[in-house]
Structure 1
């Protein structure tokens, strides 16, 4: 997660899995006080800018296999 800019949007970057070729990725988002994921955004890229504030949402990235099966959501760290 890119935290260099203090904006109301959030940029996330991730790496491809070490094995296999995913069909894409879901970026999951939930408000900080919600126990469930509230938004799911599909992308085939390795980064995305979402119009949601990193101060108000928790994010995760989930790999989607070629057969459509989702992987385990991974909560991002701070980009270096």
Structure 2
């Protein structure tokens, strides 16, 4: 969800990051948490590639949706 896309240089780390991980560990398996942590490593590259692909079409306007657990993903891509 949103935590995976909360990465530098788009946002700075905060104590809330550890709290989010602690909460996740209380709700889902350690394997699922490890998968999310691993996925987070690929986010900066993914965002760069997604932005490049969007801008390659030289759009005049780009819209971004924001829905449950996708707000940060849309916002960091827009940034």
Same structural fold, with TM-score higher than 0.5 when normalized by the shorter chain: no
TM-score (norm 1): 0.24
Higher relative contact order (CA 8 A, sep 6+): 2
* Greater share of strand: 1
* Greater share of helix: 2
TM-score (norm 2): 0.25
- Structure index of larger Rg: 2
